[in-house]
A and B are shown apart, each in its own frame.
Chain A
């Protein structure tokens, strides 16, 4: 698509959408939303970029291999953070009983490791949305490796 209006509006609007997605992810324990909704917003912003510019331009910003690494890394990150509670002498995903620092209620760093977990979920969901869009919209021959 070569329309200059769509490209300019997209170039202005995409950073704000991404900042809003990160806001929803990091405030998952304080306000509505969380890892899934914020990750969907992040993935939508990347798909918006790829739609308004070109599919190859979007693939240059976030390649398929990087996307699959991010997707797997989100799950591994979640498990590693969960094992942190095990390493501190409690059960899997234990938060307060493991002695993690809690700030004042209502502040950003007041949930122990919950915002780290939300970050993992958000990265995984965003890369999943991006990969889903590319698998649907790419041409048959140029998709690269066929398993």
Chain B
């Protein structure tokens, strides 16, 4: 599926650049969660389902709420 590969990888690059360039930190955290979800799909397509499960649970779940707890203690805008 080269078309799906192209779509997912370009989404990955766009979201990675968007995380670095967004001024609003809450938006950056949400974009980062989407990045982790697409990364988990790519791991699964590369034949590593164990890494995919860990990426989906840690990258999209645990990292997001730890960042959210940190933002709620500090300020939202950079």
Contact = CB atoms under 8 A, between A and B. Distances in A.
Interface in A27-53: 32-34, 36-37, 40-41, 43-44, 47, 51
Contacts of A44: 57, 61-62, 65
Contacts of B65: 44, 47, 51, 133
Interface string B38-78: 00000000000110111001100110011001101100000
B72 A137 contact: yes
A22 interface: no
B54 A37 contact: yes
Interface residues of B: mostly helix, strand, loop or mixed?
A: helix
Contacts of B73: 136-137
Contacts, number: 41
Interface residues of A: mostly helix, strand, loop or mixed?
A: helix
Interface in B7-63: 49-50, 52-54, 57-58, 61-62
Contact of B53 (A24, A129, A136): A24
A40 B57 contact: yes
A19 to B, nearest CB: 15
A133 B70 CA distance: 10
A128 B64 CA distance: 16
Interface of B: 49-50, 52-54, 57-58, 61-62, 65-66, 69-70, 72-73
Given A40-B61, A44-B61, 12 more contacts: A32-B50, A33-B50, A33-B53, A36-B54, A37-B57, A40-B58, A40-B62, A133-B65, A133-B69, A136-B66, A136-B70, A137-B72
Which 3 interchain pairs have the tightest Cβ spacing?
A: A32-B49, A40-B57, A137-B69
Interface of A: 24, 32-34, 36-37, 40-41, 43-44, 47, 51, 129, 132-133, 136-137
